[in-house]
Amino acid sequence: MPASTKITFYDLICNHPEKRSTSPFTSKLRYILNYKQLNYTTQWLQLGEIEPLFKKLGIPHTAVMPDGSLKYTVPAIMDETSKEPVLIADSYEIAKYLEKMYPDPERAVFPAFPSGSSSTASVQMTPAMHALVEKHFYTTIYPVLRGFVMWGIWEAQTDGSRGVWLSRVGGDVANIPRVPASGTEERKEAVGKLRDAFQGLGDAIEQNTEGVWFMGSRPTYVDFVCLATLMLLKAHGEEGMWEEVKTWEGGRWEAYVKAAEPWLVIV
């Protein structure tokens, strides 16, 4: 039964017809909120609205820029379930908070043991280990993925976000990283690199015999990281890219996304 929580979830607005976020960080958290069946409403923000609103509300920054300025980012949540509202930013910190505040052994994203598992029950993954695997995504997959999604992300920006976004690429769309045109050797090479990076993940999933998820029969934090990455490619990737991904590893990634469908809804 859904928990009667009162949570405001801050996400980045874009002009995708299904409002599929251009942020894998907010997508991951949205899927976790859905999976854990927590009640929440979304407040959609344009890029330039994040900092002034968060400063006003008291939502903390998540990074310090090289020039010393503070960086405010989505996702963030305001949890007003209890008398004292809780304001929290950073997707991993929010996920840990939700797990602690609203524990549900059936829907744990950081289970103490692989859920539904008996034979591999000695394998334990702490939140810090999940974070380590997540880092692997950002250092291994994302550098290759960027060229396939950045143009789509740019195109999905709302008018109100475009100015801020463009200033980050030196004011010139020509600086947005893109993969070489289809049919070229360079493009084939880039696709091959991405396929290999995903193959590594597929091999890890293959290690368990109990389900389609990394740790067995139920998804855990790293699955939501993986789902957000795949959905970024599906919603904002270059045309034809998702069709190609669907053919990899006997259709593993299409089936993986399909299995997660109930948690991918946007509310």
Ligand X SMILES: N[C@@H](CCC(=O)N[C@@H](CS)C(=O)NCC(=O)O)C(=O)O
Taking CB under 6 A as the rule, does residue 152 contact ligand X? no
Taking CB under 6 A as the rule, does residue 25 contact ligand X? yes
- What's 139's DSSP letter? I
CA distances (Å), origin 191, targets 179, 181, 185, 201: 9, 11, 10, 16
Residues between 117 and 146 that touch ligand X (CB under 6 A): none
Among 7, 13, 47, 145, binds ligand X (CB under 6 A): 47
Taking CB under 6 A as the rule, does residue 115 contact ligand X? no
At CA 260, angle to CA 255 and CA 265, rounded to 5? 130
Cα(90)–Cα(93) distance, integer angstroms: 5
Please say which residue, 64 or 121, places its beta carbon nearer to ligand X.
Answer: 64
Residues in binding contact with ligand X, number by CB under 6 A? 12
CB-based contact 220:110 (threshold 8 Å): yes
Among 13, 32, 59, 74, binds ligand X (CB under 6 A): 74
Cα(9)–Cα(43) distance, integer angstroms: 6
Taking CB under 6 A as the rule, does residue 235 contact ligand X? no
Segment interacting with ligand X, rule: CB under 6 A, options 72-80, 149-157, 232-240, 247-255: 72-80
Taking CB under 6 A as the rule, does residue 50 contact ligand X? yes
Taking CB under 6 A as the rule, does residue 109 contact ligand X? no
Taking CB under 6 A as the rule, does residue 90 contact ligand X? yes
Query: How near is the Cβ of 75 to ligand X at its closest, in Å?
Result: 6
Taking CB under 6 A as the rule, does residue 229 contact ligand X? no
Taking CB under 6 A as the rule, does residue 161 contact ligand X? no
Cα(262)–Cα(2) distance, integer angstroms: 14
Taking CB under 6 A as the rule, does residue 42 contact ligand X? no
Tokens of 195: 């396929």
Query: How near is the Cβ of 93 to ligand X at its closest, in Å?
Result: 8
Among 42, 46, 91, 115, binds ligand X (CB under 6 A): 91
Please say which residue, 158 or 199, places its beta carbon nearer to ligand X.
Answer: 158
Burial 38-75 (b: 16+ CB within 10 A, else e): bebebbebbbebbbeebeeeebebbeeeeeeeeebbbb
Segment interacting with ligand X, rule: CB under 6 A, options 90-98, 100-108, 121-129, 150-158: 90-98
Cα(238)–Cα(18) distance, integer angstroms: 17
At CA 186, angle to CA 181 and CA 191, rounded to 5? 85
Binding residues for ligand X, rule: CB under 6 A, are 12, 23, 25, 47, 50, 62, 73-75, 90-92
